[in-house]
Amino acid sequence: MHRPVRHACGLAALALAAGLAATLPATENPPAVATEATDDAPIPLLPTPIVSLTRTGQFQVMTLDADASRAGLAMAAEVWQTLATPLSLPAGGFATPVEVHLVLPEKWAGPGVFRVTPEAGGRVSLAFRWTAEPAGSETLRRALVQALLVQRAFALHGATAPGLKVPAWLEDACVVWSITRERPAVLDAWQDEAAGQAAPPLATLLGRVRGTPPDRAQQLALLWLLGHLQADSGDAARRWPQLLRAVLGGEDTAAALTRLYADYFKDDGARELWWQVGFYAQNRQAAQAIETAAESRVWLAERVRWPARRGENEVTLDLEEIFSARTAPWVADELRQRLAQLRAGLATGRLHPFYRNATMSLGRAYDAARAGDAKAFTAAQADLLRDIADGRELEQASKAALDALDKAVSSNLGADLKMK
């Protein structure tokens, strides 16, 4: 077997560690196992996923199926990331993560597809009947959203507080928010679809009953409602976080809305007009389809990092080890999935321009690994090293320029005020 040159990999690994990997916390209990290998044989890496964390205090995924582990972790990370702002999720995670059990169909018992269970000590567990069908992935998203909202209620009020609940409208709104914030193209399409529709009555949306899926008009309107509540939250009183706390604590949403947003309306008629204005403002708002440089750097780092176990030790595999183990079934499958993710990231146009070249270089490295082309693999790593360094340099220079501009503007403003 041809092996890439060690020093090239070492340089690439150094650049990744300095430029990318430092932006990510370590992944606990990753879904892969590596064992020692001789210099002449590929590293035998066998998938034995048991327990994995998206990040500390977020979601802990438990399953016996390798595909379920990868898909579940990806969806859980996506749900947390997309709802971090509207739900004011703690940066360091909760005291205990949401436990997610992805149960194979033959092991599933009882009715339904998923169950969210509050447990002693403020822990929340989610049992989900795992299915690989695409439709099942959106059901998993809903299950994760519901479990996350229950955990948020515990964090705000304590596990023993009476009256904790997750209103149906809030769960539905968070589901569609998560979908559209992860996929800007979907948001664009939904905005076009909603352009010719009237706003459903606010009372109908707030009075939704759990178990009945929203119709299409309600589904779109709930997305705009969540955006409107945040947009009119205000800088001082911060109405939206207070509303979230109130409704998760059991207060009626309409009553809490009247109490907290009373500056905008004085009666039901004025409240409905306020909602309709917000509905049209939100569905005509331009979508932000380009990530910040930092967001793209983190996204790229997640697709470079290969956590695994070697015996009892947790390790991060370098790219040379991945090349050597490319024929292992789980590595080959993971290479295929990561290539698809890289291509999708480039196709959507969301990636920041500073890291597009590095994304393409990483894609060429993974393509070469799949083909077993050691020469192309080494060349792609050299390109990746340079592109990462260029991206970090551009990011830092851009930040320095903006900081200097802000300082100059503030200085000039101060001088003008003194003159007056």
Give yes or no: residues 366 and 276 share one domain: no
Kindly report the number of other CB atoms within 10 A of residue 285's CB atom.
Answer: 13
Coil, strand or helix at 65: coil
Q: Choose between 397 and 144: higher pLDDT.
A: 144
239: its two tokens:
């109405």
Evaluate whether 381 touches 8 at the Cβ level (below 8 Å): yes
Q: Is residue 365 part of a domain?
A: yes
Evaluate whether 303 touches 362 at the Cβ level (below 8 Å): yes
Give mean pLDDT, residues 391-413: 74
Q: Is residue 418 part of a domain?
A: no
Give yes or no: residues 52 and 134 share one domain: yes
Give yes or no: residues 208 and 284 share one domain: yes
Q: Is residue 1 part of a domain?
A: no
Last residue of a domain, one of 161, 192, 212: 161
Q: Which residue blocks in 92-157 are alpha helix, DSSP H? A: 134-157
Give mean pLDDT, residues 2-9: 42
pLDDT score recorded for residue 185:
75
Domain that holds residue 75: 31-161
Give mean pLDDT, residues 332-338: 87
Q: Choose between 252 and 52: higher pLDDT.
A: 252
CB burial string 363-375: b at 16+ within 10 A, e below = bbbbbbbbeebbe
Give mean pLDDT, residues 341-357: 81
Q: Choose between 352 and 370: higher pLDDT.
A: 370
* DSSP one-letter string for 178-203: HHHHH-HHHHHHHHHHHTT-PPPPHH
pLDDT score recorded for residue 389:
93
Q: Is residue 415 part of a domain?
A: no
pLDDT score recorded for residue 287:
55
User: What gap in Å lies between CA 301 and CA 27, rounded to an integer?
Assistant: 12
pLDDT score recorded for residue 417:
43
Q: Is residue 351 part of a domain?
A: yes
Place of tokens 């077997």: 1
Give yes or no: residues 297 and 341 share one domain: yes
| Total of domains in the chain | 3
For 407, list phi and psi in degrees, rounded to 5.
-65, -40
pLDDT score recorded for residue 48:
54
- Whether the pLDDT of residue 32 is over 60: the answer is no
User: What gap in Å lies between CA 58 and CA 93, rounded to an integer?
Assistant: 5
389: its two tokens:
């360094």
Give yes or no: residues 36 and 98 share one domain: yes
Give yes or no: residues 137 and 61 share one domain: yes
The rounded Cα 381 to chain-centroid distance in angstroms is 27
pLDDT score recorded for residue 276:
93
Give mean pLDDT, residues 261-281: 90
- Whether the pLDDT of residue 36 is over 70: the answer is no
pLDDT score recorded for residue 206:
95
Q: What are residue 99's DSSP bridge partners? A: 60, 125
Distances (CA, A) of 70 to 43, 67, 345: 21, 5, 18
pLDDT score recorded for residue 405:
67
Give yes or no: residues 41 and 147 share one domain: yes
Last residue of a domain, one of 132, 161, 190: 161
Give yes or no: residues 339 and 353 share one domain: yes
Kindly report the number of other CB atoms within 10 A of residue 337's CB atom.
Answer: 15
Q: Choose between 358 and 340: higher pLDDT.
A: 358
Q: Is residue 60 part of a domain?
A: yes
Q: Is residue 241 part of a domain?
A: yes
Q: Is residue 414 part of a domain?
A: no
Give yes or no: residues 358 and 298 share one domain: yes
Give yes or no: residues 310 and 268 share one domain: no
Q: Choose between 61 and 193: higher pLDDT.
A: 61
- Whether the pLDDT of residue 332 is over 60: the answer is yes
Give mean pLDDT, residues 321-332: 90
pLDDT score recorded for residue 334:
86
pLDDT tens track for 68-88: 888 898 899 999 988 988 998
Mean of the per-residue pLDDT values of the chain: 81
Last residue of a domain, one of 289, 323, 339: 289
Among 81, 146, 89, which residue's Cα sits nearest to residue 118? Answer: 146
Give yes or no: residues 204 and 261 share one domain: yes
pTM: 0.62
Tell me which amino acid residue 157 is: H
Give mean pLDDT, residues 25-47: 42
Give yes or no: residues 40 and 156 share one domain: yes
User: What gap in Å lies between CA 46 and CA 66, rounded to an integer?
Assistant: 10
pLDDT-based confidence at residue 131 (cuts at 50, 70, 90): confident
Task: Please state whether beta strands 114-118 and 124-129 pair in parallel, antiparallel, or not at all (unpaired).
Answer: antiparallel
User: What gap in Å lies between CA 59 and CA 410, rounded to an integer?
Assistant: 42
The rounded Cα 309 to chain-centroid distance in angstroms is 25
Kindly report the number of other CB atoms within 10 A of residue 177's CB atom.
Answer: 23
Half-sphere exposure in the Cβ direction for 377 (13 Å, CA): 23
For 118, list phi and psi in degrees, rounded to 5.
-70, 135
Tell me which amino acid residue 156 is: L
* DSSP one-letter string for 237-297: S-HHHHHHHHHHTT--HHHHHHHHSTTT-SSHHHHHHHHHHHHHHHHTSPP--S--HHHHH
pLDDT score recorded for residue 418:
52
